Chains A and B, each alone.
Chain A
């Protein structure tokens, strides 16, 4: 108890120096917390935008489909698979895929055709809202398509343009038909942007003579579900190898790896801030102990054990660190909270529209997520670093020669 009182008195002996140190450490802590919140927000936003646009938390495919993409390699009993997901509280949608040629009056291009159920896509995923021009598909088949942004550009296609689809149908014949462009997507990922054409599954079936084949079921874990829970639903199917269940981490390995890397680099950045702050504390404690050489000499001469001196100095540093970190946490937390609750930091003027790096879309409005565990980590680690930094001056003070110290002034 007395240690605490002594430490606090000692800190206030030079208020200006203390204030400067507190400011430095507080700012470092605040920035650390700000960066954690921004980074956590970015992770959450990346995962959300990657999984909720159309990928999902989990996808089901027939074995080998992701490798050969053969129209003949389809899921067995897709309706019952969908039903299993829905009854367990997941939202799910079925899709069929085929490749071929698409042609407009201006140009032709290779294309990846998606046969989807517009009604269930609208409920489950966000792709229906990522429309740049026009609108999404109607619930009923109307020989219309929604195409990717870059594809629209290379075909010089607009809303209402007519496009011709020419494909190898599943029965070997040349499938071909005319469609109207009902909508053009925003940038949602390079594969869809460059060659994606969405159409009603009935239109797809007709074009490809696909016989109702479904190649993919994408699931989103709702409020109460988890990707692991989704995988468990299909345990029996996986055991008899009739289908393959994969989570977004396996489907988007680039994103998964990037997040792991980002987490590690945030740790390094945080450590640098801790180091910087601790240098400030080190300097302050050196000055503080230097000022009081006479005092320490007196204490040692009176019989104070070295460990008590060390303890006193460490306590001073701890108090300094704790107060600064607390202020810093309040500051950093307040700023982060502000951004968290007001829709994020809008960097559109610097970043422009969505930025895509390796297939991952960065929204120009950066979200923030405050995590109490992170704040606690920041404060505790700052306090620890302050104590560690002051260890050297503390030991130096404890090992003073009392005679030299007393005659120092």
Chain B
């Protein structure tokens, strides 16, 4: 965090000199931007409360969730409301995923064949949640030409040996503070598949630095549909043990 702050201060005079100079300034590398984005919602450990709104052609749904994560390997999400679904939870640990269903009081393991299907009916896939690796490890990346002068654009292509469904990922961040603005995901035929937009850059309870609190995922082929996640609160670096992310805890 401190290192980041220092780097930003160093950058400030250069940033206002014009986009070309800033792009060639080697203290801003695409690698750093990608790492920054990966760490934005992770930290060493995190605890958050969010609302998720899903709008589809046939229904609209809003749920409130509580989530915990530790490193890249473990995460636990639990639905707080509405009461019909309260207690439904998802546990991710070491590349595997389980769902707890309070209505039938059973835990089911999500088979690998279902990893690309939607999580909790949203436009996120199960894979999106279990993603462990870092973008700099999975992709080849380079700066692209920005449409506006206020943004950095990093164009990423997955490395051939990595099991990634996308053909190309385009990351746009604000030059001022490296806050993500938009991420575009293209399929293997280079057709736009979905867009993630970030907004509402504010501080929340328990968090002294700003981050985008609103994330909207819009699928390209379903007009009018989207999923919106809003962080009501998020805090980092809590003392969470490995046992916290257990099947027993899933069923609480």
Contact = CB atoms under 8 A, between A and B. Distances in A.
A101 B99 CA distance: 11
B152 to A, nearest CB: 37
Which label, helix, strand, loop or mixed, suits the secondary structure of the B interface?
loop
B12 interface: no
Contacts, number: 57
Given A109-B113, A166-B99, A178 B104 contact: yes
Contacts of A171: 59, 61
Chain B: number of interface residues, binned into ranges: 20 to 34
Which label, helix, strand, loop or mixed, suits the secondary structure of the A interface?
strand
Interface residues of A, number: 18
Contact of B106 (A110, A164, A170, A174): A164
Contacts of A174: 85, 88, 101, 120-121
Given A168-B121, A171-B59, A172-B60, A101 B114 contact: yes
Contact of B85 (A103, A173, A178): A173
A171 B59 CA distance: 6
Contact of A177 (B57, B103, B109, B120): B103
A17 B109 CA distance: 78
A107 B111 contact: yes
B233 interface: no
Given A107-B111, A168-B121, A176 B104 contact: yes
Contacts of B84: 173
B96 to A, nearest CB: 11
B108 A101 contact: yes
A107 B110 CA distance: 9
B85 A177 contact: no
Contacts of B120: 174
Interface in B19-37: none
B202 interface: no
Interface string B53-78: 01011111100000000000000000
Given A168-B118, A172-B60, A172-B121, A108 B101 contact: no
Contacts of A109: 111, 113
A12 B103 CA distance: 91
Contact of B103 (A107, A168, A176): A176
Contacts of A176: 101, 103-104
Contacts of A164: 101, 104, 106, 108
A72 interface: yes
Nearest to A176: B101
A171 B61 CA distance: 8
Contacts of A103: 106, 108-109
A171 to B, nearest CB: 5
A109 B57 CA distance: 27
Contacts of B118: 168
A173 B52 CA distance: 13
Interface in B206-240: none
Interface in B110-131: 110-111, 113-114, 118, 120-121
A172 B84 CA distance: 12
B108 A166 contact: yes
Contacts of A168: 118, 121
A103 B99 CA distance: 11
A173 B81 CA distance: 12
Contacts of A173: 61, 84-85, 121
Contact of B104 (A101, A108, A110, A177): A177
Contacts of A166: 99, 101, 108
A103 B85 CA distance: 19
Interface of A: 72, 101, 103, 107-110, 164, 166, 168, 170-174, 176-178
29 contacts: A72-B58, A101-B108, A101-B110, A103-B108, A107-B111, A108-B108, A108-B109, A108-B111, A108-B114, A110-B111, A164-B104, A164-B108, A166-B101, A168-B118, A170-B59, A171-B59, A172-B54, A172-B58, A172-B59, A172-B60, A172-B121, A173-B85, A173-B121, A174-B88, A174-B101, A174-B121, A176-B103, A178-B104, A178-B106
Interface of B: 54, 56-61, 84-85, 88, 99, 101, 103-104, 106, 108-111, 113-114, 118, 120-121
